[in-house]
Amino acid sequence: MDIEQFRKAGYQAIDNICDYFYSLGDKPLVSPVEPGYLSKLVPSSAPDAGEDFDQISDDFKELILPGITPWQHPSFFAYFPTSCTFEGILGDLYSSSVSNPGFNWSASPACTELEVIVMDWAAKLFGLSPAFYNTSEVGGGVIQTTASDSVLVAVVAARSRYQKAHPNTRIEELVVYTTTQTHALGKKAALILGLQIRVLEVSSDDEFGLRGDNLRSSLEKDKQAGLKPFIFIATVGSTSSGAIDNLQEIGQTLDNYPNIWLHVDAAWAGVALSCPEYREPLRLADINEYATSFCTNFHKWGLVNFDCSGFWVRDRKLLTEALDVTPLYLRTKEGDAGTVIDYRNWQLPLGRRFRALKVWFVLRSYGVSGFQKHIRECIDKNKTFIGLVINSKYFKLVTEPSLALTVFRLLPGKESTQAQTTERLNELNQIFFDLISSRKDLMLTKTSLNGEVCIRFVVGSSRTTLDHVIRAYNILEEEANKALQLWAE
Ligand code: PLP
C-alpha cells in the first residue's frame, strides 16, 4: 500500500468505524458465533500473493465483526465496561503512525516526556500526593499495559527491596499477601514469580474490606513460622462488589513492618478520585499517606481505550534498582547522566507503546470537568438502578452499592428468604443468570459473595442513557418472573 492508497483506505476505515458506532445499539450483545467459527472462514496459511486491501477490509466487516462482543454497546453492564472514546481511538491511530518503542528517552524523547507530563496531570486529577508526581524526581507515574502488569512490577520491586534489606531470605520464605476479594492478578503474580500467597478472609460485616487486626494476626503467625511477607496487595473497589480495604488500619499495621510494600489496586474505582466527593469514601488520604504504589486503569472507566493502566510509585528507585538491566546497546549519554527517565526500567518489557498520546488527547478534550461529568453521570444512572432494585418485589441488594456498581440477587419473595437454603437460592440465581445471558439485548456478569451467587450491574459508558438503564431493569424483571417459574417446577 502506498501513501495515496493509505489515504483512501484510511478515510474508508474511519467511515466504517463511524457506521459501526451508529449501529452499535442495534447489535446483538452476545456474538452469535460458535467456537472455532473463524478457522472455517479463514485459510490456515497466509496467502502466497498479496491481496487487495478492499477485500481485506470487507473481510473485517464480514468475518471479524460478527465475532466481536460490542463492549461499547449502551446496554453493556458486564464486568467493568471499557469507556472507549473517539479521542482515544485517534490517539492510538497517531501513535501507530509513528510506531515507536520509546523505551529510552532518546529512543523518542516526546514519548517519554509526554508520559511524564500526563501522569502528573492524572496524579493531580486524582488528588494523589505530590510525592507521586514525576516532578518530585523521587516518586513518579508510568503507564503500564494492565493492572496485572502494574502489580507484577510492584511485586518484583517489593521482593527486590525486601531481599536487599534481608539478604539471607530464601525465595520459598517470601509470601505475597492478598484477600479473598483481591483480583486474580495477585495469584497470577505469585504464580509467575514462584512465590507463596496468603489469602486473608474478609467479612460481609466489613463490606468485604480487610481490617487491620486480621492483617496483623496473620503477619505475626507467618513471622513466627519463619515466613517473610513482603507485599500486601490492597484493593480500593474490588471486582465482585467494589469493596474497599481499610487502608488506615492496614497502613498503621504495616508501619510496624518497614519492608512490606503496600500496593493499592484501584483498577476500576480509582478514576472516581477525580471527583472530590468520592475521595473520602475511596480513602484517598490513606492512599497518600501509606501506599508504596497505586494503580488505576484509564482503560476501564477512565475514557481511554484499552490498554492503559496508570501506575504510580512513591520511590522510583525501587523500580529502577529492581528492573534496570542495561547492556551497552541500550546505554545513552542522557541515561548515564541520570537527567532523563528511561521508562524501560519502570516496567517488564523493553519496548512500550506511546499510550501517553491517547491520555493527552482525552484529558485535553474532556478537561477535568468533562472527566468528572462522565464519572458522576455513570454513578447517577446507577443510583436510578439502585432505587428500582430497592423498591422491587424481586430483588435484594447484596452489598452496599459502590459508585457505578450494584450487586443484587433474585429472591422468591422478600419475606420467604428464611425458608430457603443458600443452595436453593443459588439455583434460582443461576437460572436467572442463564436467562439473562441468553438475551442479546443486554449483558451483565455474575459473581459469588459469601457463597451466594449474585448478579453485578455496572454503568461505565457515556453512551448508556437513563432509558437504557430503565430498559435493562424491566428486562431483568421479565426474566426474574420466568426464572421463578422454572425454579418452582
Ligand atoms: N483489579 C481489579 C479490581 C479489577 O476489577 C480488574 C479487572 O476487572 C483488574 C484488577 C485486572 O485489570 P487488568 O485487566 O488491567 O489487569
- CA distances for 331 relative to 103, 231, 272, 337, 369, angstroms: 11, 32, 40, 10, 42
Give 178 Cα–ligand 1 centroid separation in angstroms: 14
Question: Strand, coil or helix: what is 300?
Answer: helix
Residues 6 or more apart whose Cβ sits within 8 Å of residue 21: 72
How far apart are the CA of 188 and the centre of ligand 1, in A? 12
C-alpha cell at 297: 486503569
Q: Compute how many other C-beta atoms are within 10 angstroms of the C-beta atom of residue 51.
A: 10
Res 83: pLDDT: 82
Instruction: Give me the pLDDT at residue 63, please.
Output: 97
DSSP state of 255: T
Tell me the per-residue pLDDT of 64-85, one tens digit each, with 9 for 90 and over: 999 999 999 999 999 999 989 9
Q: Is pLDDT larger for residue 64 or for residue 461? A: 64
- C-beta of 402 in contact with ligand 1 (< 6 A): no
C-alpha cell at position 213: 487486626
Over range 38-48, report the average pLDDT.
97
Estimate the crossing angle of helix 147-165 against helix 185-193, to 10 degrees. Answer: 50
pLDDT at 59 over 70: yes
Supply the ipTM of this predicted assembly. 0.99
Ligand 1 pocket test, pick from 268, 305, 348, 458 with the greatest ligand atom count within 8 Å of Cβ, gives 268
Closest CA to 426 of 457, 400, 447: 447
Question: How far apart, in whole angstroms, are the C-alpha atoms of residue 136 and residue 285?
Answer: 19
Domains, the chain, in order of start with CATH, read 3-68 (1.20.1340.10), 99-353 (3.40.640.10), 363-488 (3.90.1150.10)
Closest CA to 75 of 471, 406, 485: 471
* 187-213 pLDDT per residue, tens: 999 999 999 999 999 998 889 999 999
The H-or-E segment that residue 474 falls in is helix 466-488
Quick one: which atom of ligand 1 is closest to the CA of 238? Answer: 3
241 lines ligand 1 (CB under 6 A): no
* Cα 333 to middle of ligand 1, angstroms: 38
Q: What pLDDT was estimated at residue 242?
A: 97
Decide whether any atom of ligand 1 lies within 6 Å of the 235 Cβ.
yes
C-alpha 132 to ligand 1 mean position (Å): 21
| Cα 55 to ligand 1 centroid, rounded to whole Å | 37
Instruction: Write the residue with the smallest CA distance to atom 14 of ligand 1.
Output: 146
Cα-to-centroid distance, 181 and ligand 1 (Å): 12
Asked whether the beta carbons of 68 and 322 are under 8 A apart, the reply is: no
pLDDT-derived band of residue 416, with 50, 70 and 90 as boundaries? Answer: low
Q: Position of cell 507503546?
A: 353
Give the DSSP H/E element, type plus range, for residue 316. helix 316-323
pLDDT of residue 414: 58
262 in Cβ contact with 291 (< 8 Å): yes
Task: Identify residue 295 by its one-letter amino acid code.
Answer: C
Distance CA 441, CA 474 (A): 12
Residue 163 has pLDDT above 90, yes or no: yes
> Looking at residue 485, what is its pLDDT?
94
Per-residue buried b or exposed e for 135-167, using 16+ beta carbons within 10 Å of the residue's own CB: ebeebbbbbbbbbbbbbbbbbbbbbbbbbeeee
Please report which confidence band the pLDDT of residue 489 belongs to, taking 50, 70 and 90 as the band edges. Answer: confident
DSSP 16-82: HHHHHHHHGGGS-SS--PPTTTGGGTS-SS--SS---HHHHHHHIIIIIGGG---TTSTTB-SSS--
Average predicted confidence (pLDDT) for the chain? 96
What was the pLDDT predicted at 420? 83
* pLDDT of 487 higher than 80: yes
Distance CA 284, CA 123 (A): 12
Statement: residue 147 has pLDDT above 90? yes
**Percent of the chain with pLDDT strictly greater than 90:** 94
| Beta-bridge partners for 407 | 456
Say what the pLDDT of residue 415 is.
54
Instruction: Read off the pLDDT of each residue in 103-128 and give the average, rounded to a whole number.
Output: 97
Instruction: Give residue-wise pLDDT tens across range 328-384.
Output: 999 999 999 999 999 999 999 999 999 999 999 999 999 999 999 999 999 999 999
Confidence band, pLDDT 50/70/90 cuts, at residue 258: confident
Q: Which residues of 238-256 are buried (b: 16+ CB within 10 A; e: fewer)?
A: bbbbbbbbbbebbbbbbee
Residue 224 scores a pLDDT above 90: yes
